[in-house]
Structure 1
Amino acid sequence: MWCRLIIIIPLCISCTTVDSARILGVFPMAAQSHYILGNALMKGLAEAGHNVTMISPHEEKDPPKNGSYTDVVLTGFVEDFNKILKEMNLLDNKNQSMIKTMLNFFNLTIKLNEDFLKNENVEKFLESDQKFDVIIVEQFLVDTVKIFGHIYNAPVIVFSSLGANPWINNAVGNPSPLSYISPANSDFSEQMSFFERLGNVFMYLFFNVIDYFFYFPNQNKILKKYFSDPPDIYDLFYNVSLVLINSHESLNQPVPFVPKMVQIGGFHIRPPKTLPGDLQKFLDDAKEGVIYFSLGSNLRSKNLPPQKRDAFLTAFSKLKQRVLWKWEDEDLPGKPPNVKIAKWFPQQDILAHPNVKLFITHCGLLSTTETVFHGVPILAIPVFADQHRNAEIATHSGYALSLPYEDPSFSEVKLSGMLQELLTNPQYTDNIKKRSQLFHDRPLKPMDSAVYWVEYVIRTKGAHHLGVAAVKIPWYIYHSLDVISFITIIFSLSIYVLFISIRKIVICCKSQKPKEKIKLN
């Protein structure tokens, strides 16, 4: 019997480790919201029993119990990012055009790519003799990192924190009609007017010009600077086996997806934890309910100008409800007694509490996802990037009101009116509950879906059969411009020939017309 056990135990161990894949995640963005998503994905894969290595600016304080989780920390990235945020002050960016903002953003990404490849921990990592079965990278203007797929001869999975967008669509040949789909940083609705569609076309052309004449050439220069004979950036850009998208139809505009694209929106949301004692009591004792107010991880409430800050304070002082305000300072001058401040709150756990009646948010995608998950209506204060689009979708879906940060009518009176409408009109709560139901109604939990598709790419050695032909043909053929041009030329020639023929016939008829006889006296 013991002999049999000695033989069986090693076999069982080998069976459990055969399916354990070696997965490398590369998430260079230092923004906390980006790290939350990347970290949740990689921890989920580790919990599924895989050996995970994650390159990011942050260090994991609570590694998963299953599998294996290794951090490669991009030292200095968080400090540099916080410095940039302080210099930019996103709450005071109203006079800068979208084009200038995007150009500055592209310049920052060039620096990010360079900083990543010359980071000492990345250099040490590349010198180590490691093997990986799949590489997962975040598609956020850091395309040089896709060279890891080439280095380790492994399929590349792309993660999109912003849902479907032009960079993702172009990489996998996903259709994105400009007639009703606009960029994530636009607040155009699905039903665009003629001039909005015209603007949408110009934005599309602008971003493509920037990509192909500025961004990609610079990425190529960086690759050649740090690697000998690297692949062309265009080859790396299109070398995508799968796209994991942080979106879902209950949150985002329904759009087309090619087979390589899988929606996993909400995968980062975990079961609620017990709140700290004082916070639990604050929420439990709130008989009239609680309003939770946070502008996310990149925006700072403490940077609000006095006029807007006082508008919130005055509006809150008139409420029966209690308010939790994420305020990044020790003190808040003029704070009413019903307001509790802290530099950080466990957002997911707060939104899960039944006494939370409203969420005042910048409408970042993570916050929007979490409030839909827990069924809490929102007052949106969008500031930049995809926040305006998220606010527009939430308003259109009937579970939010929106007061854009730069709105000239932003005042205590307007703020109070919106708060009263959201707190007293049950339609907003009803709509968010219905939306939450749609969010939860899926064949698989988002994280389970992510794990399945990552393992699928590994099993199929890159899932090449999922690719569409669109990425292999020139843009003018993809849009049938050659066919349209041919038809236009033939039609024009036919009209021209017809016109000339008719003209000649008319002239001929006139020349053959008998002359009138002149009557002589």
Structure 2
Amino acid sequence: MVVVLQILFICSLSSWQYSNGAKILGIFSLPARSHYSLAEKLMKGFARVGHDITMVAPYPTENLPKNVTWEDIIVEGVVEKHKANMVGLMLKDSHRSAMEKLIIYQHTVLNHVNQTLFSFKVKALLSPTNKFDIVIIAMLYNEAHKYYAHYFECPLIVLGSMGATPFLNNIVSNPSPPSYVQYYLGAEDFSFDNFWHRFSNFFDYIFDFLVDYFYIRPVQNKLLQRAFPGAPPVDEIPTSLVFINSHESFMEPVPLVPNMIPIGGYHVEQPKQLPKDLKQFLDGATNGAIYFSMGSNLNVNQMEKKQIFFNVFGKLKEIRVLCKYADENFSNMSRNVLVKSWMPQNDILAHPNIKLFITHGGQLSTIESVYHAVPILAIPVFGDQFRNAKRAAKLGFGLEIGYNNERFNEETLLNYIEELLANPKYKENAKERSAIFHDRPLKPMENAVFWLEHVLRHKGADHLKVSGIDLPLYKYLMLDVVGSLILLILVFLYSVRLVFEMVMRLFTCSRKKEKEN
């Protein structure tokens, strides 16, 4: 009862403090649908509690809540280029090392950063007549977008879609020990007991730091100077708060500084009524149903091995399968399979007859499976999907096999599906992860609203920032202290050597005199 009263007090305080609403500018340049969906859900949550939203993005906002103040500013031309480049990029990703991925990803994002900075519509915002109380950007190799907070002289909040990644840790001085925190693009099973795993992990972190410090930041500064001559370096633009799409129910617990706030799962809404055809199909699945989707960036019809999935689904005669596939008129499909080009994933996973989710292992899909306690078969293709898939298998609520794995074939896929459906441990583990997910003092969106308004109330919330942000690199890494210790040790050893040599000379002279006498 006391906890309930505290929550009500916090919520009432927030709504009282900002009854007129703050003006929020959101900059979300990445045209990947999943990343945009995260940004859109966050801004809609803030709009529902009375804040005025201006959203810069490559897509127009759909299904706006009633009675909200909202303006879309569309960055045009980026979606088409993104779609043209992504298929080839994604399907070859499993053959790349973490170093190659880092270079390729940041090159891919530069185009979106550039088009946003030079967009006529976005530049029109930078007017003396415009004022914003806070700027929110989705961070993925786009540090130049921090400039908008500098221009409007307001606090900056950063949204991270993949947890506490190095490019987020760097801007708030969050520690990430490579001894037990796996690099976010690492694909192999990580064990802190394995020397070579730790060695490789350490090397990945070092490489990431060098690329970030000596390449990515200088490139971002050059872009920023071209767009806005005289702008400060991106390192000098402070970040008040970082929202990370993370939670211990589906990710490894890691260190977080006070201004790094996990709100993982805020995008999951209460399930709605299914369309009539989907409801009838799932209601009639007395032996259970499987939902199959490879996410929003990669359509199954673009995959060379798609027939493997269809052949396996045809062998599951007693199990119904919902298949997200671009060609709804595709004829080579078993009668137990229903094909749709678009499906309400969250609402489907909430149906009690869904027994398994076959997924690419994206962050949002993994979260939704945990939310609804549905076991997964993860088939990662790109980016952090490999890490998510490994973690699901490690936590026991799924199995994983990479799309480009040499063992990926009909027999393996069928065996994995049958194991997941027959063995109750996966469902029990999924229920346990779901219970952890839901066991929080505030719902994720409520938590996000509280911390947004905390930053507004306290004018940037400098009290949350650790002092490491203000330290130069050599002090943060204690290089001056380590160097001093090494110098002291060398001086001590040199002094010992001099004393030893002096003693030896005295001893030699003494022996020589004894012989002469």
SS in 2 for 1:359: strand
Report if aligned partners of 2:155, 2:240 keep a CA contact under 8 Å in 1.
yes
| Cα displacement (A) at 1:362 | 0.9
Assess, with a 3 A threshold, how the Cα gap between structure 1 residues 469 and 107 changes in structure 2: closer, same or farther: same
| Cα displacement (A) at 1:103 | 2.1
The equivalent of 2:154 in structure 1 is 154
Q: Give ranges in structure 1 of 5+ residues lacking alignment.
A: 1-13
Whole-angstrom CA distance in 2 between matches of 1:179 and 1:309:
39
Give the AA of the match of 1:85.
M
Report if aligned partners of 2:28, 2:57 keep a CA contact under 8 Å in 1.
yes
Assess, with a 3 A threshold, how the Cα gap between structure 1 residues 455 and 190 changes in structure 2: closer, same or farther: farther
The equivalent of 2:81 in structure 1 is 80
| Cα displacement (A) at 1:505 | 3.7
The equivalent of 1:196 in structure 2 is 197
Report if aligned partners of 2:396, 2:429 keep a CA contact under 8 Å in 1.
yes
Counterpart check, 1:217 vs 2:226: no
List aligned pairs for 1:464-503, cutoff 5 A: 464-502=462-500
Instruction: After superposing the two structures, state which structure 1 stretch, 331-340 or 204-213, moved more.
Output: 331-340
Give the AA of the match of 1:169.
N
Counterpart check, 1:379 vs 2:364: no
Whole-angstrom CA distance in 2 between matches of 1:229 and 1:265:
37
| Cα displacement (A) at 1:258 | 0.8
The equivalent of 1:3 in structure 2 is none
Report if aligned partners of 1:181, 1:190 keep a CA contact under 8 Å in 2.
no
Assess, with a 3 A threshold, how the Cα gap between structure 1 residues 434 and 455 changes in structure 2: closer, same or farther: same
The equivalent of 1:186 in structure 2 is 186
Whole-angstrom CA distance in 2 between matches of 1:227 and 1:89:
31
The equivalent of 1:410 in structure 2 is 408
SS in 1 for 2:126: helix
| Cα displacement (A) at 1:58 | 0.9
Kindly provide the CA deviation profile for residues 14-64 of structure 1, in whole angstroms up to 9, marking residues without a partner as x. 989754111111111111101111000000001011111111111112111
Kindly provide the CA deviation profile for residues 86-137 of structure 1, in whole angstroms up to 9, marking residues without a partner as x. 4x25224455444334323222222222211222321333347221111111
Report if aligned partners of 1:43, 1:69 keep a CA contact under 8 Å in 2.
no
List aligned pairs for 1:509-520, cutoff 5 A: 509=507, 512-513=510-511
SS in 2 for 1:126: coil
Whole-angstrom CA distance in 2 between matches of 1:190 and 1:148:
41
Whole-angstrom CA distance in 1 between matches of 2:405 and 2:388:
16
List aligned pairs for 1:27-38, cutoff 5 A: 27-38=28-39
Counterpart check, 1:268 vs 2:267: yes
Instruction: After superposing the two structures, state which structure 1 stretch, 31-40 or 295-304, moved more.
Output: 295-304
The equivalent of 1:315 in structure 2 is 312
Counterpart check, 1:48 vs 2:49: yes
Give the AA of the match of 1:310.
Q
The equivalent of 2:12 in structure 1 is none
Whole-angstrom CA distance in 1 between matches of 2:438 and 2:16:
34
SS in 1 for 2:158: strand
Q: Which of 378, 397, 400 is 1:399 aligned to?
A: 397
SS in 1 for 2:242: strand
| Cα displacement (A) at 1:513 | 4.3
The equivalent of 1:390 in structure 2 is 388
SS in 2 for 1:129: coil
Assess, with a 3 A threshold, how the Cα gap between structure 1 residues 509 and 448 changes in structure 2: closer, same or farther: same
| Cα displacement (A) at 1:428 | 0.5
SS in 1 for 2:140: coil
The equivalent of 2:301 in structure 1 is 302
Report if aligned partners of 1:351, 1:376 keep a CA contact under 8 Å in 2.
yes
Whole-angstrom CA distance in 1 between matches of 2:151 and 2:261:
25
Kindly provide the CA deviation profile for residues 426-463 of structure 1, in whole angstroms up to 9, marking residues without a partner as x. 01000110110000000000000101111111111110
| Cα displacement (A) at 1:215 | 1.6
Whole-angstrom CA distance in 1 between matches of 2:306 and 2:263:
36
Give the AA of the match of 1:218.
V
The equivalent of 1:246 in structure 2 is 245
Report if aligned partners of 1:110, 1:218 keep a CA contact under 8 Å in 2.
no
Report if aligned partners of 1:372, 1:436 keep a CA contact under 8 Å in 2.
yes
Aligned length: 500
The equivalent of 1:235 in structure 2 is 236
TM-score by structure 2 length?
0.91
Report if aligned partners of 1:179, 1:192 keep a CA contact under 8 Å in 2.
no
| Cα displacement (A) at 1:196 | 2.0
Assess, with a 3 A threshold, how the Cα gap between structure 1 residues 486 and 516 changes in structure 2: closer, same or farther: closer
Give the AA of the match of 1:40.
K
Taking only the aligned residue pairs, the percentage that are identical comes to: 41
Report if aligned partners of 2:185, 2:384 keep a CA contact under 8 Å in 1.
yes
Kindly provide the CA deviation profile for residues 139-177 of structure 1, in whole angstroms up to 9, marking residues without a partner as x. 111111111111111111111111111111110011111
Report if aligned partners of 2:94, 2:381 keep a CA contact under 8 Å in 1.
no
Counterpart check, 1:434 vs 2:432: yes
The equivalent of 2:103 in structure 1 is 103
Kindly provide the CA deviation profile for residues 225-264 of structure 1, in whole angstroms up to 9, marking residues without a partner as x. 222321222212xx10111111001111101111111111
| Cα displacement (A) at 1:331 | 4.3
Whole-angstrom CA distance in 2 between matches of 1:128 and 1:470:
34
SS in 2 for 1:297: coil
Whole-angstrom CA distance in 1 between matches of 2:500 and 2:92:
67
| Cα displacement (A) at 1:504 | 4.8
| Cα displacement (A) at 1:511 | 5.3
TM-score by structure 1 length?
0.91
The equivalent of 2:449 in structure 1 is 451
Assess, with a 3 A threshold, how the Cα gap between structure 1 residues 247 and 220 changes in structure 2: closer, same or farther: same
Q: Give ranges in structure 2 of 5+ residues lacking alignment.
A: 1-14
The equivalent of 2:277 in structure 1 is 278
The equivalent of 1:9 in structure 2 is none
SS in 1 for 2:327: coil
Counterpart check, 1:144 vs 2:141: no
